[in-house]
Amino acid sequence: MGALGKTVVLLLVAATAVVCTPFVNDLAPGQEWPARNSVRQPNFGESQTEAVQEEFSTDDPTSEITDDAVIIGKAIQPKTDIQRVDYSGAQIWKVSTEKSGSRAVISRLRRRNLISTWGGNQYSIDILVKSDFVRNVTRVFERENIQYEVVILDLQKNINDENPPLDENELGLQDRRGHRMTWKQYHRLEDIHGFLDYLAKTYPSIATVTTIGKSHEGRDLKVIRLSDGKPTNKAVFIDGGIHAREWISPATVTYFINQFAENFDVESDDIKNIDWYFLPVVNPDGYEYTHTVDRLWRKNRKPYLGTRQCTGTDLNRNFGYRWGGKGSSSYPCSEIFRGTRAFSEPETQAINNFVTKSAKNFTAYITYHSYGQYLLYPWGYDNALPPDYKDLDALGKSMAEAISQAGGSKYQVGSSSGLLYPAAGGSDDWAKSQGIKYTFTIELNDTGRYGFVLPTTHIEPVARENLAGLRVLANQLKK
Ligand SMILES: [Zn+2]
């Protein structure tokens, strides 16, 4: 194994002295900001972990072995001891799967831990080739006559260039605005949560922030509700950041929040006749981890303490409709580990409780992911369609048309199992099973040029296009 596979990550244990920070909007414009990272972080040393000893099969055909952080000890480590996962020399290839047998070759390479997989569809799969195995994998593909294209030559370089610091001008604007969100940068969780709190305090008649639960490591799961409170309003639930590394998702969802909250009075009736519920970061532990340790972390951060000590459940395989089926793994080290039971994770549990116990009548659920540019509707668990799939397909196509007209990106529309591959335990299937009619998983840009590591210059164009798509959905709901 190379630098990647062998990377041992020390678990950060929060320092005991935590500075208590005032809400950012308690500060008058121009006043000093609280120092970055001074917001209280969960105490990792105290996080409770369920000891789960459930059996899992290692010969599961869907299992794949992936890099995993190994937690060593519970000693308190100063923050500087965080060792970032280094992707120098790792490459992203787009591999054609037209030749029969090519998927099996890719699966084998993945099981041997030479590669991991990113996006994919019926025609190709994007793979991450670990730095030490570039030659090895090249030889395998040449021998098997499998076509591929190198898309990213040095992944670490892309990661380094992805999220540059704001320039002086932007920093000045940020100080006057009352919150730190910019959509010119991918922000840390404290900026996102500070932004939600700022809106609730600035626009109390339409914005309310509720913490619907806590992540495994104790971070808040914050939902902002934007509504004028009319009893006839329909309700829509939108989330982002289920998968930690898909940074464009929380950026896009917070862009919508900003547009609606800052312009509520002049917004269209379509928008004002909806109670909007936004959970921009479903997986805050994973999200922070992608900023501090491993840019490409996907799952949550709850350790599995069986014979295999691996960390993280794929939250989008943990929802409770047809949980445990195709496209999910019982192997805790897999990137698509489904957890030990449906809703075994606090993050998925919180959403389930909030949506099912709320008196609100949700008529739409949209979950934003990346990447691939797809508008997907149920079912995901298998090649099957809900009875009203034609309504979803028609709306999806109108949304895709609006996205294309607004900015030019082409989004494909279809059922997730049909267009991509079956994957049971997804949040969209669960939402549909709860009777929420318009349920979509949206895979944001791009189609693989940058993949998960989408430069910040793409945030505003992607978010703006998708706002046009969301307006089409809002319009449909009044019918
Ligand atoms: Zn995702």
pLDDT tens-digit readout, 34-56: 344 444 455 443 333 333 323 33
Residue 62, amino acid: T
d(CA 207, CA 228): 9
Ligand 1 centre distance from Cα of residue 348 (Å): 14
pLDDT, tens digit, 9 for 90 and up, residues 284-294? 999 999 999 99
Centre of ligand 1 to C-alpha 173, Å, is 32
Rounded distance from Cα 195 to ligand 1 centre (Å): 23
Catalytic residue among 217, 443, 460, 465: 443
Q: Answer whether residue 377 shows pLDDT above 60.
A: yes
CA distances from 159 to 88, 204, 287 (A): 10, 38, 15
Give residue 163's pLDDT band: very low, low, confident or very high (50, 70, 90): very high
Lowest mean pLDDT among 42-56, 124-138, 338-352: 42-56
Ligand 1 centroid from CA 400, angstroms: 19
Going from the Cα of 17 to the center of ligand 1, the distance in angstroms, rounded, reads 35
Rounded to the nearest angstrom, the distance between the alpha carbon of 212 and the centre of ligand 1 is: 21
Interval between CA 24 and ligand 1 midpoint (Å): 30
For residue 198, the CA-to-ligand 1 centroid distance in Å is 28
pLDDT at 305 over 90: no
Q: How far is the CA of 81 from the centre of ligand 1 (A)?
A: 29
Q: Separation of 242 CA from ligand 1 center, angstroms?
A: 6
Residue 127 has pLDDT above 50, yes or no: yes
State in Å: Cα 368 to ligand 1 middle: 8
Does pLDDT of 415 surpass 90? yes
State the distance from the centre of ligand 1 to the C-alpha of 315, rounded, in angstroms: 9
Rounded to 5 degrees, φ, ψ at 335 are -65, -20
Who wins on pLDDT, 360 or 239? 239
CATH fold, domain 168-303+308-477, is Aminopeptidase (3.40.630)
Residue 41 Cα, ligand 1 centroid: separation in angstroms?
A: 25
Neighbours of ion ligand 1 (CB under 5 A): 243, 246, 369
In this prediction, residues 228-238 reach a mean pLDDT of 96
User: For 93-108, how does the pLDDT look when each residue is reduced to its tens digit (9 = 90+)?
Assistant: 999 999 999 999 999 9
Is residue 58 pLDDT above 70, yes or no?
no
Q: Please state, rounded to an integer, the average pLDDT across all residues of the chain.
A: 86
Peptide linkage before 446 cis (omega within 30 of 0): yes
Instruction: Please give the pLDDT value at position 80.
Output: 54
Phi, psi of 369 (to 5 degrees): -130, 180
Q: Is 70 exceeded by the pLDDT of residue 229? A: yes
* Residue predicted with more confidence, 276 or 25: 276
Q: Where are the domains of the chain?
A: 91-153, 168-303+308-477
Which fold, 91-153?
Answer: Alpha-Beta Plaits (3.30.70)
**Is the CB of residue 242 less than 8 Å from the CB of residue 259?**
no
CA 370 to ligand 1 center in whole angstroms: 5
Active site residue 335: no
- The token duo for 331 is 């192997």
**Burial grade of 236 (CB within 10 A; 0-12, 13-18, 19 or more):** buried
The alpha carbon of 121 and the centre of ligand 1 are apart by a number of angstroms equal to 14
